Amino acid sequence: MTIITLASRRAAPTNPTPDTYEAAQQAYADATNGLSMARHYLQQGNFAAAQRKMVQALAAVRGLQADGGAA
């Protein structure tokens, strides 16, 4: 009986799961929207609303960083 030793295979790189990818896309869209709305409110002179939208945008960016910086 002959024993054939096969070279070990390297694991294929893991692609982000659709859920992770979609979550990253949504976080990016939320960050972009928040920044756009903050800019709009700043132009209108509504600083309280601009601050709220900026906080939302920063939270979305933090969510992207927590996901491993998917880019």
Going residue by residue through the chain, which has 71 residues, state the pLDDT in tens, using 9 for 90 and above.
Answer: 677 666 666 666 666 666 888 888 999 999 999 999 999 999 999 999 999 999 999 999 998 887 665 44
pLDDT value at position 50? 97
Half-sphere exposure of 62 (CA within 13 A, CB side): 6
Domain around 51? 18-66
pTM (2 d.p.):
0.66
pLDDT value at position 67? 65
Report yes or no: 71 and 28 within 8 Å, Cβ to Cβ: no
Query: Does the residue 5 lie in any domain?
Result: no
Query: Does the residue 34 lie in any domain?
Result: yes
What is the C-alpha to C-alpha distance for residues 26 and 31, in angstroms, rounded to an integer? 9
Query: Does the residue 62 lie in any domain?
Result: yes
Number of domain units in the chain:
1
pLDDT value at position 20? 83
CB neighbourhood size of 9 (10 A): 6
